[in-house]
Amino acid sequence: MTLINGLPAHVLFVHVVVVLIPLTALALVTAALWPRAARRLGALLPVLAVVALASVPLTTHAGEWLERHVDDDALVRRHTELGDGLLPWAMGLFVLAAVVWWAGRRAPAEAGQSGGSRWSALPVRIVVGVLSVAVAVGAVVDVYRIGDSGAKAAWHDAYSKSATGSQHGS
């Protein structure tokens, strides 16, 4: 998919990534650090993560099409290079979201068993929590860097720094 209603699909799809990656990161960290939140989120956490993951290659594919239809520019090349690095972060969010969801749904059933659950052991929860925070921060920072480079590529010489034309409400 490269065009939607005459507009480059990338400029529309990017909004999905910009919303879903940070939202998934926030939900993941909350669920990883607060088991009750993991149980309340339930399957929504991995579903959100898989939709966020799927939106990344869809957006980059549309962006590659758009790159071939704009002037060659160092800012566009930089944005493209940064954009190619988001998929591993999105995969990390998905994998950890699946682990947290799986552990959260197993914990109540195993809580009554003697010895408790392996997943509820404090060292495992700490490792999953630290990994979740690290991947969430990395993903959100990467989305910011990609978005900033994309905005610079799109707008660096595309507007006047002083107002032009008639001004309304003056």
pLDDT band at 160 (very low <50, low <70, confident <90, very high): low
What is the predicted pLDDT for the residue at 53?
Answer: 98
Q: Which residues have a Cβ under 8 Å from the Cβ of 125 and sit 6 or more positions away?
A: 32, 35, 119
Q: What is the pLDDT of residues 44-56, one digit of tens each?
A: 999 999 999 999 9
Average pLDDT over every residue of 110-115? 48
Q: Is the pLDDT of residue 37 over 80?
A: yes
SS3 118: coil
- Alpha-carbon gap, residue 63 to 60, rounded angstroms: 5
Which has more confidence, 88 or 105? Answer: 88
Q: Are strands 3-4 and 7-8 parallel, antiparallel or unpaired?
A: antiparallel
Q: Is the pLDDT of residue 115 over 60?
A: no
- The pTM of the full predicted model, rounded to 2 decimals, is 0.85
Which has more confidence, 26 or 115? Answer: 26
One-character DSSP codes across 44-102: HHHHHHHHHHHHHHHHHHHHHHHHTTS---HHHHHHHHHHTTHHHHHHHHHHHHHHHHH
Q: What is the pLDDT of residues 14-29, one digit of tens each?
A: 999 999 999 999 999 9
